[in-house]
Structure 1
Amino acid sequence: MTVDPRLLEIVADRAWPARQSGALGGWRLNASDGWSLRINACWPLGEPDRPIDEAIAAAEAFYAGRGLPARFKLSDGAVVPANLSEHLRARGYRPTHGTVVMVGEASGAIAGATDAAVTLSDTPDPAFEAVLTASAAGNAADARERLDALARIPAPARFARLEVDGEVACLGATAVDGEWAGIFGMRTLPGHRRKGLARRILAALLGEAQALGARRAYLQVEADNAPAIGLYSGLGFVPAYGYRYWVVE
């Protein structure tokens, strides 16, 4: 599947909205509480409105004014200008947190399977919120930031939770934007992993996305998360491109 990283990055930025945003020409500035890197970083997806080093300094000032470190999300094939990494490196930035963007067909083989154990809603309900919070390993601030971002997903969005023996065991969400459906918030509680629950959540979400007009789907997976990459590969998703966050070490 051929994908233009710059176009998909614009879609992905809309799908996971930051609490605050700004712009330096084509550079998008996202800020929240500092936990989810996607909504706490600069996305340089177009030409800045000033010379590169001045733009970097302006981005640094934007984050410093909010008590956050400056981070730059550099996606393969979507960075403008293309030599931005050289300027960042000269200022002490280094790449970290490698992530793979995977894409697949919304109408894949698993999409739309009827599953009575999966509950779908257009907002995160209390049960969804409780399990996502429980999966945050005690970091309530991280969980709250992610829940706030999920609640800001533009319509149409769908939230799925799957119950096993009366207990919510697995979660997921989708943001539909034209032909694209983004998959977010996939969580399985530790005691329920390796039971195929994530596959069932994804099937329900893709079925909903297809009904809402999506033809293609994307998701982000940490580059070192081999089990997740294997899972999604087995469900028809393929790597499209990668990105890294550049931070001052």
Structure 2
Amino acid sequence: MEISATGRFEVRITAADVGKRVSVRRLSEPGDPSAKFTDTVGVLTSWDDGVLLITRKDGQSVRIPESTLVAGKTVPAARARRRGPAATYEELARVSARAWQPVESERLGAWELRAAVQGTPPEARPRGAGAGRRTGFTRRANSVLPLGDPGLPLDAALRAVRRWYDERGLPAYVQTATGAAGTQELLCAELERRGWVREVTSELWTGALAPVADRAEGSGVVLSRTADRTWLTRYQRKGVSEVALRVLSSGPSVWFATVPGADGAAPAAIGRCVVDGRWAGFAAVEVDPEQRRRGLATAVLAALARRALDEGASAAWLQVEADNAGARALYAGLGFAAHHAYHHYREPADTDGYGPS
């Protein structure tokens, strides 16, 4: 906290510091002798009508009345990570997007509108707010990737986004990130201010590839270029369509791993890897619940990692949900660590379907 030469706390931030990383201290109940201090560190995303909005590393926004502040200062960006490969948010966002490629996309300035739905002629697509809305296969291939300026004021850009997805019978989602240099805390705050609802939050982790490849030998892991019927019997997303298969097979260099089950049963474990330059992206690592804790997930990752190394990759990324304790422990043990959090915001359910005009 910022303390003056006289030993008193000082508030050294103003509304002009919106967009900067700050650290503030506040009193829970000003004037109450038993009140407690609370510290908050994050990006100052707004300061309006006497209330500060600070977005923390995990993407959660904290509202702080100006009257409760006792200290505050701007703080430098987080130090460069020492574990795992160095990478910018934008690099990882583009790499992970290429691993889940849409069937259809369109540019809106520096925003990419992405959709993965069955091909339907425009005249046959459902129209109007909520008409025949579907949920496309994986939000990553059915959401906006906003890496810069859309070339329009935000409200106009969001109206265009909602119209584009509405024409395809899909709800509009915007994918954002928080917690690293160059992420989108300000955009998150603006979306929430407009009633967009955050439905999903996960983390993208990175790590060195060689230590994963050095783990236990393949344990009968079979690698293939295609997700065959056997692989799909273990995949948790049931009823995979032709579009889903197209998305699963998309990417610069895609590999599927299978640990066969006994007597032709569903596989004991599966996994997917997309090799893209120096990066290998792991996904769809699933193990038969009755065969967990036997090292099968590690064997799948190791086999895929060795193949990725052969193709020239040196670093790895994967996505993990915040409440998946087992997966987090596995990946941490393999040397992975969180790089940033990412979120999917769904359009608000207003009556006209497009928001403010």
1:209 aligns with 2:308: yes
Matched residue, 1:150: 248
Matched ranges for 1:80-159 at <5 A: 83-111=186-214, 113-132=216-235, 135-136=236-237, 139-141=238-240, 145-154=243-252, 156-159=253-256
Could you tell me how far 1:35 is from its partner in structure 2? 3.5
Instruction: Check whether the contact 2:281–2:318 (CA below 8 A) recurs between aligned residues.
Output: yes
Secondary structure class of the residue paired with 1:83: helix
CA distance in 2, matches of 1:201, 1:147: 20
From the superposition, tell whether residues 204 and 106 of structure 1 become closer, same or farther in structure 2 (CA, over 3 Å): same
1:63 aligns with 2:161: no
Aligned amino acid, residue 170 of structure 2: L
Could you tell me how far 1:185 is from its partner in structure 2? 1.7
Give the percent of matched residue pairs that are identical in Structure 1 and Structure 2: 34
Instruction: Check whether the contact 2:106–2:113 (CA below 8 A) recurs between aligned residues.
Output: yes
Cα distance per residue 1:60-85 (max 9 Å; x no partner): 111111111111111124556x6322
CA distance in 1, matches of 2:142, 2:234: 23
CA distance in 2, matches of 1:224, 1:75: 18
The runs of at least 4 aligned residues of structure 1 exceeding 6 Å deviation read none
Instruction: Check whether the contact 2:89–2:183 (CA below 8 A) recurs between aligned residues.
Output: no
Could you tell me how far 1:17 is from its partner in structure 2? 0.6
CA distance in 2, matches of 1:11, 1:110: 21
Q: Aligned-residue CA RMSD in angstroms?
A: 2.0
1:224 aligns with 2:323: yes
Instruction: Check whether the contact 1:113–1:207 (CA below 8 A) recurs between aligned residues.
Output: no
Aligned amino acid, residue 293 of structure 2: R
Aligned amino acid, residue 248 of structure 2: L
Aligned amino acid, residue 328 of structure 2: I
Runs of 5+ consecutive residues of structure 2 not aligned to the other structure:
1-83, 118-135, 350-357
1:38 aligns with 2:135: no
Matched ranges for 1:20-39 at <5 A: 20-33=104-117, 34-39=136-141
Instruction: Check whether the contact 1:173–1:185 (CA below 8 A) recurs between aligned residues.
Output: yes
More helix by share: 1
Instruction: Check whether the contact 1:45–1:79 (CA below 8 A) recurs between aligned residues.
Output: no
Instruction: Check whether the contact 1:73–1:244 (CA below 8 A) recurs between aligned residues.
Output: yes
Secondary structure class of the residue paired with 1:114: coil
Cα distance per residue 1:215-236 (max 9 Å; x no partner): 0000001112111111111111
Instruction: Check whether the contact 1:29–1:43 (CA below 8 A) recurs between aligned residues.
Output: yes
Could you tell me how far 1:159 is from its partner in structure 2? 1.0
Could you tell me how far 1:201 is from its partner in structure 2? 0.2
Matched residue, 1:236: 335
From the superposition, tell whether residues 148 and 187 of structure 1 become closer, same or farther in structure 2 (CA, over 3 Å): farther
Secondary structure class of the residue paired with 1:57: helix
Matched residue, 2:94: 10
Aligned amino acid, residue 185 of structure 1: A
From the superposition, tell whether residues 109 and 128 of structure 1 become closer, same or farther in structure 2 (CA, over 3 Å): closer
CA distance in 2, matches of 1:109, 1:15: 20
From the superposition, tell whether residues 117 and 206 of structure 1 become closer, same or farther in structure 2 (CA, over 3 Å): same
Aligned amino acid, residue 305 of structure 2: L
Aligned amino acid, residue 246 of structure 2: D
Runs of 5+ consecutive residues of structure 1 not aligned to the other structure:
none
Instruction: Give TM-score scaled by structure 2 length.
Output: 0.63
CA distance in 2, matches of 1:66, 1:164: 39
The 10-residue stretch of structure 1 (11-20 or 145-154) with the greater mean CA deviation from structure 2: 145-154
Q: Looking at CA atoms only, which structure, 1 or 2, has the larger radius of gyration?
A: 2
The 10-residue stretch of structure 1 (120-129 or 205-214) with the greater mean CA deviation from structure 2: 120-129
Aligned amino acid, residue 15 of structure 1: A
